[in-house]
Chain A
Amino acid sequence: MLEIEGLNKTFASPSGDVVALHQIRLQVEKGQFVTFIGPSGCGKSTLLKIVAGLDTAYQGSVKLNGKAIAGPGVEKGFIFQEPRLFPWLNVERNIAANRSLRDKEVCKQVDELIELVRLKGFEKAYPRELSGGMAQRVAIARALLRRPEVLLLDEPFGALDAFTRTHMQEVLLDIWENNKTTMLFVTHDLDEAVFLGQRVVIMNPRPGHIRNVIGIDLPYPRKRSGSSFQELRSRVLSEFEKVETPAIEIGAGI
């Protein structure tokens, strides 16, 4: 379980301090799928980096299974907006990275993951030969090989076209149903947030804080056209309409 309590984060800058996160409080049960949505600059990436252990300069407490997060590690997989693959390694070696493919167990798991992220036949391809969606699937497989307890995804499908994005969402749900990995998924796409998450965390900027958490009590696989989906979607949307910043991309995923 992930517990965030009284989290504050301030960036010092020449033009004055920026409060990126203000009094964040959140609990995520093991295996839960939580989506975060909010306009840019509301601290979503900052929050994810802190949970990942990539940023340790904050006030408050962030605990995974009762232990304060001390630094980055494989139990907290991170998927960045860009795939960030090693351009000199082919797909299977990118997934293995610092693990050896000569190890039979690693090799077998890499094969299974390639199957899972639907990249059969591309084991030997180099990143430059892959489309954006394929590369992001390699990044996901790379994280999964380490059997993370939590997967942190920072707008992972933001750069993909709508069609690929829908496909990737289905792949991700497949993975989640198989592995029951806890998912923290940041997006600025309302439909994506409602389609994927069991809870949608709505964040606002200046200073970055959680405005509301809405439970999405719909069974998977979800239908975007269903009336209950539309109902929840408009509930989340109405939360935004109370906010003066119209910076959010509403319905970008349709």
Chain B
Amino acid sequence: MQGANNRWSLRALHLFVGALLPLSILAVWQYVTAAGMVNAILIPSPKSIAAEFGAMISSGELQRNLGISAWRAMLGFLLGGGLGLAAGLWVGFSIRTERLLDPSLQLLRTLPHLAVAPLFILWFGFGEMSKVLLIAKGAFFPLYVNTFLGVRSVDRNLFDVAKVLEFTRWQTITKLIIPASLPSIFLGIRLSIGISWLGLVVAELMGSSSGIGYIINDARSFSLTSVIFVGIIVFALVGKITDSIVKLLERRLLRWQNNLKGAGS
């Protein structure tokens, strides 16, 4: 009991220490803006940003646009990430496929979003297709690279075990290679989700009539700085929340790997 109590108070302390810096920044920010020391159009006060936030929620505008953005990001992630996973497994399994595909994929990997976005718009128009594809392009590579590395780093010794136990080819894939590369695959998933959000912003800024990126872009043309702040905060929050969810899932699925189960910290 004593230990549990200690752990909780320690956690509260950590939370407090972690919140110290943001809270003091907010306090200074509020003070500086309220005192009129900076241009309120460039830097609105925390209070007015919060008010804008409230207004956008009660009008339903925020939820609607967030829903659209989340939908695009998810489609793009599933498409690009799914293909990246499949390609990573495939190229990982066979040296011949690696020689065939990897050089071209590595070449494509270095292309920045902003460079290919105009081309995508030209090809697929301003509709959903070009946005989802742009997001998918970003989401593909982290999963591809990490899955590939994961497959290649499976302990060679376990393949001898699989042979002796008469694993079929399918069992070798599903019961050895995939579980063994799961830690890298999860790393790839987390990076892919991050890049999906990045791609989303680019896609929505490039030309769109809905979504959080559109709200930001639209607010910019009217110098509604507080709306821009709201958009940025929403992006940050959603990014953080999805990452936490994946992390939680990861901790569940990779429980076998955690060496410090319940050992304080």
Contact = CB atoms under 8 A, between A and B. Distances in A.
25 contacts: A52-B164, A54-B164, A72-B160, A72-B163, A72-B166, A76-B164, A78-B161, A78-B164, A80-B161, A82-B157, A84-B157, A84-B160, A84-B161, A86-B175, A88-B180, A88-B182, A88-B254, A89-B256, A97-B175, A98-B167, A126-B255, A126-B256, A128-B257, A128-B259, A146-B165
A88 B155 CA distance: 13
Contacts of A89: 256
Interface size class of B (residues with CB under 8 A): 20 to 34
A43 interface: no
Nearest to B261: A129
Contacts of A146: 165-166
Contact of B165 (A87, A88, A97, A126): A97
Contacts, number: 60
Majority secondary structure, A binding face: loop
Interface in B146-202: 157-158, 160-161, 163-168, 171, 175-176, 179-180, 182
A80 B157 contact: yes
A84 B176 CA distance: 12
Given A72-B163, A146-B165, A88 B179 contact: yes
Contacts of A71: 163
A86 B163 contact: no
Given A82-B157, A98-B175, A88 B256 contact: yes
Given A82-B157, A86-B176, A98-B175, A74 B165 contact: yes
A215 interface: no
A6 interface: no
Nearest to A82: B157
A74 B256 contact: no
B163 A54 contact: yes
Contacts of B257: 87-88, 128
B158 A84 contact: yes
A78 B165 CA distance: 9
A74 B157 contact: no
Interface in B221-265: 254-257, 259
A246 to B, nearest CB: 31
A78 B161 CA distance: 8
Interface string B60-102: 0000000000000000000000000000000000000000000
Given A54-B163, A80-B160, A97-B165, 7 more contacts: A74-B164, A76-B164, A77-B164, A78-B161, A86-B175, A86-B179, A98-B167
B158 A86 contact: yes
Contacts of B164: 52, 54, 72-74, 76-78, 143
A22 interface: no
A44 interface: no
A54 B156 CA distance: 13
A142 interface: yes
Contacts of A73: 164, 166
